[in-house]
Structure 1
Amino acid sequence: MDEEKAQAYADLASKMMELHASIALLAQNVDKMARTDEEVTSMTRIFHGVYVGNNGGSRSVDVAKLALD
């Protein structure tokens, strides 16, 4: 019975290590997403300031055409 308990604890420890690694990877991915979101927000503000703000918002900008230039 003691050997069974020892094996059960070893299996549990192994699963906990896997869980810990998965959580650490998830935290890294969340951090990357937050940085990407921050960069996209910054670029959007610049875009609006350059292409929309200078026209007073009265002229529409063809984003697809800008991407090709």
Structure 2
Amino acid sequence: MKTILIWSIIQFIFLTGTTMLFINGHQDLAGNFYDIFTAQFIIFAGHVLHFLLKKEKTRLTDTDKK
């Protein structure tokens, strides 16, 4: 769960940084940050999905043992 919190903070920083750069007229730099943000978001979504599936598998396995 700690990992998801850290990833969320990183995502927020990149998204905020990209928005600020774009507003201030640095579209080229903002585009580069946006590419990084997109890649990190895909990795983050995969990590969350893996966490949820692992948690669900554990819940189903624990139910079968009862």
Q: Relative CO higher for 1 or 2, CA cutoff 8 Å, sep ≥ 6? A: 2
**1:42 equivalent in alignment to 2:36:** no
For residues 12 and 36 of structure 1, what CA distance do their matches in structure 2 show? 35
Matched, 1:24 2:34: no
Count residues in correspondence.
42
Q: Percent same amino acid at aligned positions? A: 2
Q: Which residue in the other structure is 2:9 paired with?
A: none
Q: Normalising to structure 1: TM-score of the pair?
A: 0.55
CA RMSD of aligned residues (A): 1.3
Task: List 4+ stretches of structure 1 deviating above 3 A.
Answer: none
**Residue in 1 aligned with 2:15?**
none
Looking at secondary structure, tell me which structure has more helix per residue: 2
Give the 3-state SS of the residue equivalent to 2:61 in structure 1. helix
- Larger CA Rg, structure 1 vs 2: 1
- The Cα of 1:23 is off from its aligned counterpart by 1.3
Cα drift, residue 26 of structure 1: 1.0
Gaps of 5+ in 1: 1-7, 52-69
1:29 and 1:12 map into 2 onto residues whose CA distance is 25
Q: Which runs of 5+ in 2 are unaligned?
A: 1-24
